[in-house]
Structure 1
Amino acid sequence: MSDLKEEQTVDNNELDQNAIEPEESPRVERPIDPNLQGIQLFYEKNKKMVTYVGGGLLVLIAAICFYKFYYLPEQEKEAANEIFWAQLYFEADSFNIALKGNVNVMAPEGQKTIKGFEAIADEYSITKSGSLANYCAGICYLRTGKFEEAIDRLGKYDGDDAIVAPIAIGAIGDCNMELNRVDDAVKYYLKAAEKSNNSFTSPIYLKKAGFAYETKGNYAEALNVYERIKKEYGKSNEGREIERDIAKVKALGNL
């Protein structure tokens, strides 16, 4: 009897252990993605190259950040400081000094020799002030009768100011008129009028285009331009006086 009880106890213990210890699930191996395997093999074969390329990218990113967040702002600051002095002489109609600089002034940091618009445009060409210096240099040349030089400098202005941009283009038209290149002048006047559609610059350059047409005897085109001023910019200074020009070209052209 005791042997039977002992056998039952052993059997019960085995059952308890089986209940406690679950069977291990068979291990399922997932297949390796062939794309990832290819990348791993490529990396193993080209460790050096990948390291150099990665390092090069980091250097490039660092250089871009340095240029954008430090170098360019510093250049903008220097150019703005330099152009300030040139503009003072420009506003005083001292165009040669404004253009060439090379005079001494007393600045907050002490005595300094100022740079002219040409030097500023060339040395700080990547800045907004450098671009503006090209425009100012062009106007200086225009005012001093050096029209080819003016065209060259004005053509290098790449700003998008709503007033300065059309004036720069229109000034190229003025230079061409002075050089008796009337067709080119008309082209630039019309381009200036379209550059920034506003009631200040647009009627000015449309009227100049009309006058250029008149000098060629093309009164029909002059009339078209003058009537556009009347229709679109009637309240501008040019628009309020355009009837006189309309009557004139109609009479001259029998229109």
Structure 2
Amino acid sequence: MATYKKRGYKPKSQKEKEENIEEGSTTAEVFNTLDESASKTEEWVVKNQNLIFGIVGLAAVIVLGIMGYNRFIAEPNAKEAMNEMTTAQEFFDEAMTNTTQKDSLLNLSLTGANGKYGMLDIIEEYGSTPAGNLANYYAGTAYLNMNKYQEAITYLSDFSSDDIMLSAISKGAIGDAFVQLDQKEEGLEYYEKAIKANANEFTTPMYLMKAARTAMDLGDNEKALKYLVRIKEEFSTSTEAAQVDVLIGKAEASL
């Protein structure tokens, strides 16, 4: 058991003297080891100082480069892309309300007019900007409305969004395109992705119904019934709920 020794304490016995010498030697060894390690570290730093300064300098250049790129290239490009996109978006919005000229307006939205960019130009010129990403959504939706389903899938698949509503709608639109191509397994998969993307009163019952009908077409009435019951229990005020009892009866009869 270790004992506390007062300051100025002098060892009385030979044993205590030996213990003091041993403790002193151990302490000296520790400090010597630390000194040696510090010396080696200093030597290494001196020997490799050019490498160290080079790494620090490179890191500084990279950070400054990123900051400069964002400020002087990325941000101005993003703003320019949004401005260029205005006309194409106007054509798209008009097409959604003008049924008689819908296809021609959607085509103008895609290819542009009067020297203004279309969505496809925005994607090509500003693909890495937020506007370029959003242009994929508009282009995919335009192709879907023009019954060009493979093109719709291509562009909608390139779109991504943190907006949970828009994310759900884009996945549901891919599901619609696959169903129209008679690839119902893939269509059901994307309807299910749209359901999981965001629970809300608008898109969720819509894609639950589409998933249920597609599952029934595939002969998976158990899965269809699960989706139909969810509409009845969770979205009883939705438009889809008005049809749900009849479909539940059909699904149950087929089990």
Give 1:23's aligned residue. none
Separation in structure 2 between the aligned mates of residue 57 and residue 44 of structure 1, nearest angstrom: 20
Helix, strand or coil at the partner of 2:85: helix
1:46 maps to: 48
Q: Which runs of 5+ in 2 are unaligned?
A: 1-30, 96-104
Give the CA deviation at 1:240.
4.1
CA offsets, 1:102-124, max 9 Å, x none?
A: x12xxxxxxxx221112212322
Following superposition, the deviation at residue 63 of structure 1 comes to: 0.7
Q: Does 1:239 align with 2:241?
A: yes
What is the percent sequence identity of the aligned residues?
A: 33
For the pair 1:100 / 2:111, whether they are aligned, the reply is: yes
8 Å contact from structure 1 (residues 76, 129) kept in 2: yes
Which residue matches 1:143? Answer: 145
Q: Name which of 121, 124, 142 aligns with 2:126.
A: 124
SS in 2 for 1:237: coil
Which stretches in structure 1 are left out of the alignment for 5+ residues? 1-29, 105-112
Q: Tell which deviates more after alignment, 80-89 or 35-44.
A: 35-44
Is residue 147–residue 178 contact of structure 1 (8 Å, CA) maintained in 2? yes
Aligned-residue CA RMSD in angstroms? 2.1
What residue number does 1:153 align with? 155
Task: Give the whole-Å Cα distance in 2 for the aligned partners of 1:156 and 1:36.
Answer: 55
Counterparts in 2 of 1:39 and 1:235: CA distance versus 1, 3 Å: farther
Distance 1:239 1:69, change over 3 A: farther
C-alpha separation between the residues in 2 aligned to 1:43 and 1:197? 58
1:115 aligned counterpart, secondary structure: coil
CA distance in structure 1 between the partners assigned to 2:72 and 2:37 by the alignment: 41
Structure 2: which amino acid aligns with 1:149?
E
Change (3 A) 1:205 1:44: same
The SS at the match of 2:164 is: coil
Can you list the C-alpha shifts for 1:196-253, whole angstroms capped at 9, x where unaligned?
A: 11121111111001111222343333222111111122222223442232234345x2
Q: 1:116 to 1:38 in 2, by over 3 A?
A: farther
CA–CA distance in 1 between the matches of 2:219 and 2:151? 29
Q: Is the 8 A contact 1:189 1:208 kept in 2?
A: yes
Instruction: Specify which of 219, 223, 226 is matched with residue 224 of structure 1.
Output: 226
Q: 1:95 corresponds to which letter in structure 2?
A: L
1:186: which partner in 2? 188
Q: Residue 211 of structure 2 aligns with which residue?
A: 209
Letter of the 1:60 counterpart: I
Distance 2:111 2:40 in 1: 63
2:175 aligns with one of 163, 167, 173: 173
Give me the TM-score of the superposition, normalised by structure 2. 0.77
Cα distance change on mapping 1:55 and 1:213 into 2, 3 Å: same
CA contact (8 A) 1:128 1:159 kept: no
Distance 1:234 1:206 in 2: 13
Query: Is the Cα–Cα contact under 8 Å of residues 193 and 206 in structure 1 kept in the other structure?
Result: yes
Q: Give distance in 2, aligned partners of 1:222 and 1:57.
A: 56
Query: Letter of the aligned partner of 1:210 in structure 2?
Result: A
Equivalent pairs counted in the alignment come to 215
1:38 Cα shift? 3.2
Structure whose CA Rg is larger: 1
Summarize deviations over 1:40-93 as a string: whole Å, max 9, x none: 322322233233222211111101211334432222211211222211011122
Question: 1:139, 1:73 → 2: CA distance?
Answer: 27
Cα distance in 2 between the residues matched to 1:61 and 1:190: 42
For residue 33 of structure 1, report the CA deviation from its aligned partner: 4.6
Please give the secondary structure, in 2, of the residue aligned with 1:230: helix
Preserved contact between residue 98 and residue 117 of structure 1 (Cα < 8 Å):
yes
d(CA) in 1 for partners of 2:36 and 2:88? 66
